[in-house]
């Protein structure tokens, strides 16, 4: 009996011990979960404080920029006796002035009072008012501006200025957290947060075909009025200049990489503009279609679509249709590569440019120039017409009247009068009033010459056109469509 009782006692002790052990495990797990939750809260609080610290540190150096641009308009009632009689002398003035107001942001970079902003914020401004975060107001002066990069430097006369630190935009990674500070819609010192959505973006700007390149894309909210404000990394360093948005698109904003800005600051301050090395050619990518038309075995190099008159390239002998292969013995295989290599050559220095022309390799020594400043703003034969289903184009000969109406410097080529929607020509962006100078490397100025080239084409083949638009030429390869 004693043995049985002892066994029961031991069993109860084991069960009690196990229960205590399980309760301990449960308590330890509860404590661990509570600690983990506490750590999460602490990490979130730390992250939140970091963003707040960035805003608190850099906010004082972000300024509000208000501009006034005076526009003159024609008075439609000038010298109208009826309106003059009823409304007074205001209708006896030929022009009227209308103030156009704008707003934007900027940030102070040194104690001399230099402020970085966007060119479009201060473009043609007659008055500039700069307001600091502490409420002080100053008259601003544009020291330098550059349309190409959309950058401007504004100067104020002030003491004890808060500053920002400039970072390294080349080290930015897609997905990295960034903070934008600015004055959207006139709401001063607005802070937004997001990530770097993409790098190296190219976006069109305005109706002149200009393209801003190498932009940072971010989903940190950027709205009108944010332009010119800083985009900051988690170290509190400026990595971009908030610049543009896509209208009606949420979460898509763009900023100029600060490394581009750093290259331009000294030029803008010292010369009032950005000095850029210049070759003087309009260039385009060598696609497989273009390579085939130029009898190239590989789609390599950069095609010269046009040469600017009185440019370094023209002086050296480079011509339309040349394929640039090397600059100073280094290969170039994209327009961007060529632009970067030329841009890194000092103005006035010589460069060796190797090209291929009609299958022959030729080298030129070109003295690199300074890029011109970009400004934004008898009996006649009957007209011949042809509608080519194969190419999707309707063309006619350029006459003296057409050349005069379009401001052409010559009377030659064929004018495009219609483009079939959905055709290869339409897909490539050809438009009415474009002038076709060559078809498959052959000059064309009459429908007869045009048809001779077209009749040699096979359905599915490529027609290479040299097109004149906006005062320069470029090549357009289009597919010849099969006739049903």
Q: Which residues are catalytic?
A: 120, 150, 227
Expressed in percent and rounded to 5, the helix, strand and coil fractions of the chain are 30, 35, 35
Q: How far is CA 285 from CA 97, 101, 305, 425, in A?
A: 47, 42, 10, 18
Where do runs of H (alpha helix) occur along 158-316? 258-271, 288-293, 312-316
Size of the chain, expressed as the number of residues it contains? 484
- Among 400, 412, 279, 397, which Cα is nearest to 335's? 279
Dist. CA 326–CA 332, nearest whole Å? 6
CB 242 within 8 A of CB 181: no
Structure tokens at 483: 């006739």
Cβ burial 232-263 (10 Å sphere, 16+ → b, else e): bbeebbbbbbbbbbeeeeeebbbbbbbbbbbe
Dist. CA 54–CA 51, nearest whole Å? 5
CB 276 within 8 A of CB 260: no
Residues 6 or more apart in contact with residue 428 via CB below 8 angstroms: 476, 477, 478
Structure tokens at 433: 């009033």
Partners of 193 in beta bridges: 179
Where do runs of H (alpha helix) occur along 272-399? 288-293, 312-316, 335-343
The two beta strands, 165-166 and 237-245, are parallel
Residues 6 or more apart in contact with residue 456 via CB below 8 angstroms: 440
CB 92 within 8 A of CB 80: no
Dist. CA 398–CA 412, nearest whole Å? 6
Run of H or E including 12: helix 2-58
CB 151 within 8 A of CB 268: yes
Q: Is 204 helix (H, G, I), strand (E, B) or coil?
A: strand
Dist. CA 305–CA 95, nearest whole Å? 44
Q: Is 426 helix (H, G, I), strand (E, B) or coil?
A: helix
Place of tokens 């080519």: 388
């Amino acid at each position: 009996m004693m043995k049985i009782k002892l066994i029961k006692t031991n069993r109860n002790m084991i069960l009690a011990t196990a229960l205590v052990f399980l309760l301990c495990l449960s308590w330890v797990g509860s404590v661990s979960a509570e600690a983990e939750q506490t750590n999460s809260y602490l990490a979130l609080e730390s992250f939140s404080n970091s963003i707040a610290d960035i805003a608190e540190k850099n906010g004082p150096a972000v300024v509000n920029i208000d501009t006034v641009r005076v526009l003159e308009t024609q008075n439609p009632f000038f010298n109208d006796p009826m309106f003059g009689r009823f409304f007074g002398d205001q209708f006896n003035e030929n022009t009227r002035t209308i103030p156009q107001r704008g707003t934007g942001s900027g940030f102070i970079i040194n104690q001399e009072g230099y402020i970085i902003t966007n060119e479009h914020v201060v473009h043609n401004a007659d008055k500039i008012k700069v307001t600091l975060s502490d409420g002080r107001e100053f008259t601003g002066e544009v020291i330098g501006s550059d349309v190409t990069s959309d950058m401007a430097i504004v100067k104020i006369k002030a003491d004890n200025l808060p500053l920002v630190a400039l970072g390294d935009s080349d080290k930015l990674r897609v997905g990295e957290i960034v903070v934008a500070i600015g004055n959207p819609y006139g709401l001063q010192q607005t802070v937004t947060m997001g990530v770097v959505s993409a790098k190296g973006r190219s976006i069109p700007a305005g109706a002149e075909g200009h393209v801003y390149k190498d932009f940072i894309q971010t989903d940190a909210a950027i709205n009108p009025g944010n332009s010119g404000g800083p985009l900051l990394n988690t170290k509190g360093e400026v990595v971009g200049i908030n610049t543009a948005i896509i209208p009606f698109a949420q979460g898509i904003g763009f900023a100029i990489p600060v490394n581009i800005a750093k290259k331009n600051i000294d030029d803008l301050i010292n010369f009032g503009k950005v000095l850029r090395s210049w070759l003087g050619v309009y260039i385009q990518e060598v696609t497989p279609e273009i390579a085939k038309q130029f009898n190239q075995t590989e789609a390599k190099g950069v095609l010269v679509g046009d040469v600017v008159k009185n440019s370094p390239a023209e002086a050296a002998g480079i011509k339309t249709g040349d394929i640039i292969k090397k600059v100073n013995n280094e290969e170039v295989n994209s327009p961007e590569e060529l632009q970067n290599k030329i841009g890194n050559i000092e103005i006035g220095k010589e460069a060796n440019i190797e090209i291929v022309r009609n299958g022959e390799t030729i080298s030129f020594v070109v003295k690199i120039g300074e890029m011109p400043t970009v400004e934004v703003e008898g009996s006649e034969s009957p007209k011949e017409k042809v509608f080519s289903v194969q190419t999707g184009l309707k063309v006619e000969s350029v006459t003296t009247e057409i050349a005069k109406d379009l401001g052409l410097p010559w009377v030659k080529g064929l004018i495009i009068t219609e483009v079939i929607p959905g055709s290869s020509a339409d897909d490539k962006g050809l438009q009415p009033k474009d002038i076709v100078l060559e078809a498959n490397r052959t000059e064309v100025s009459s429908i007869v010459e045009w048809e001779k080239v077209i009749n040699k084409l096979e359905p599915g083949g490529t027609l290479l056109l040299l097109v004149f638009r906006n005062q320069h030429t470029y090549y357009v390869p289009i597919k010849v469509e099969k006739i049903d």
